Amino acid sequence: MERLIKSGAGWRIGWNPNATEFKGLVGTDDWAIELTEAELDDFCRLLAKLVNTMQQISAELMDEEKIACEAESDLLWMEVEGYPHEYSLHFILNTGRCAEGKWKPSALPGLVQAVGMLKVF
């Protein structure tokens, strides 16, 4: 398998199985950071968990009610914030090189869809 980079309005994500250390990439139109395979796996897993939580909570909130949900692993911390149907994503990489980034609500649907298809062989 060769290097794969998916991108859309305000987001990009990549996977390079042949890279020695940094096999993943996440970013926006303005920034990007390479991730190890374990970091990318955690990013994808935690994002799916947060999206699922927002879907489950949506029935319990009023339309104008905002919410913030966090999830973390040893490698990174993530938070979604906003309305159940429109929210931003913020992450902080907790490993040696430390980084953080944020996606706008408009970027999330495409990013979430791409994450679901990223490492499907």
How far is 9 from 66, CA to CA, in rounded Å?
Answer: 24
Greatest CA separation for the chain: 48
Please count the other Cβ atoms lying within 10 Å of the Cβ belonging to residue 42: 23
- pLDDT mean for each 10 residues of the chain (121 residues): 88 95 95 96 96 88 86 96 93 90 96 84 40
Rounded to two decimals, the pTM is 0.92
Domain count, the chain: 1
CATH number where 51 lies: 2.30.31.10
Strands (E), the chain: 4-8, 11-15, 24-27, 32-35, 67-72, 76-83, 86-93, 99-103
* 75/83 Cα distance (integer angstroms): 26
User: What pLDDT score does 121 carry?
Assistant: 40
Binning the chain into helix, strand and coil, the percentages to the nearest 5 are 30, 35, 30
Evaluate whether 47 touches 112 at the Cβ level (below 8 Å).
Answer: yes
Enclosing domain of residue 90? 4-117
pLDDT reported for residue 58: 81
pLDDT of the residue at 51: 94
- Please tell me the predicted confidence (pLDDT) of residue 8: 96
- Which structure tokens are listed for 12? 């990009």
